[in-house]
Amino acid sequence: MIEIGKYNTLTILRDTKVGLFLGDPEKDPEGIHDILLPNKYVPNEFEIGEEIIVFVYLDHEERPIATTLEPYILLNEFALLRVNYVNQVGAFMDWGMEKDILVPFKEQARPMEKGKRYLVYLYMDEKTNRLVASSKTNQFLSNDNLTVEKGEEVDLIVSHITEIGINVIINEQHKGLLYKDEVYDDGIRTGDRMRGYIKNIRPDNKIDVSLQIQGYQSIEPNAEKILDELRASRGFLRLTDNSHPEDIKTVLKMSKKTFKKAIGALYREKLIEIKEDGIYLVKE
């Protein structure tokens, strides 16, 4: 069946004055759900019977219609969209289609303003069978049945920023928190997409995420070399941030820059203590 709000691979059935009619002969042999691809979207070259990838949505008369335009958001997904105008019904956002997408007032986390961008979720309204968007994104997320594990690499979308940290959407399914001390980029904004890692899953299924791979080996491969040297030296190395580069090179065969990065990683993992006279191995 043809899916509204998604890309569909359909067969070109016939050419008419208004455009191409597309369908799925295998699943709909009687052509009950054939759909129009208007002339302005018809490719220069085509053959009856060949397949074409199109996006299907509802036109101004709420009829399914195909287009080769690329939407900024798909059904059951999140995206940052701009408000084109607001009227008595709600806010209308640009999503790459000829017809703007509606965000009803009741689905606005806060009143939307023309020209501003908001993170929204696209869904099918069961009462009206229309595609609509909502900025009340939490209702479309759940941490009841988690599909992620600690240490797993995941896709993140910035939901909103608080004093504690950055609320993120994990794999378009779950809610997570990225603490501020984990972020070194002041330019992160709502709607930004990035890769991250599951840092911790709490007993109540709340998720902490990080932008860095967890574990000193992943953060800095030279950290293991320093640990080996510490173990061989009874847990102490007379080296610090202020040590001469040649001394560091002689003992560890690495540059001072690499050394500082490695001990920083070990310190954050609480595997070493850094004192004025050198670095100490924390008892393992």
> Tell me, which fold does domain 78-138 have in CATH?
OB fold (Dihydrolipoamide Acetyltransferase, E2P) (2.40.50)
Q: The domain 153-210 belongs to what CATH superfamily? A: Nucleic acid-binding proteins (2.40.50.140)
Least confident of 10-14, 112-116, 161-165: 161-165
Q: How far apart are CA 109 and CA 173, in angstroms?
A: 19
> Tell me, which fold does domain 7-67 have in CATH?
OB fold (Dihydrolipoamide Acetyltransferase, E2P) (2.40.50)
Confidence of residue 159 (pLDDT cuts 50, 70, 90): very high
> Tell me, which fold does domain 217-281 have in CATH?
Arc Repressor Mutant, subunit A (1.10.10)
Residue 215 has pLDDT above 70, yes or no: no
Distances (CA, A) of 255 to 119, 143, 169: 45, 45, 39
Residue 216 has pLDDT above 60, yes or no: no
What are the structural domain ranges in the chain? 7-67, 78-138, 153-210, 217-281
Question: What radius of gyration do the chain's Cα atoms show?
Answer: 27
Give the CA count within 13 Å in the CB-facing half-sphere of 14: 7
Q: How far apart are CA 10 and CA 26, in angstroms?
A: 10
Q: Which of 65, 74, 128 is nearest to 99 (CA)?
A: 65
Confidence of residue 220 (pLDDT cuts 50, 70, 90): low
* Average pLDDT of span 204-219: 76
* Average pLDDT of span 29-35: 79
* Average pLDDT of span 23-29: 84
User: Is the distance from CB of 169 to CB of 190 less than 8 angstroms?
Assistant: no
Distances (CA, A) of 278 to 162, 241, 269: 38, 9, 17
Whether 7-67 and 217-281 share one fold: the answer is: no
Q: pTM of the predicted model, to two decimals?
A: 0.74
Q: How far apart are CA 149 and CA 28, in angstroms?
A: 41
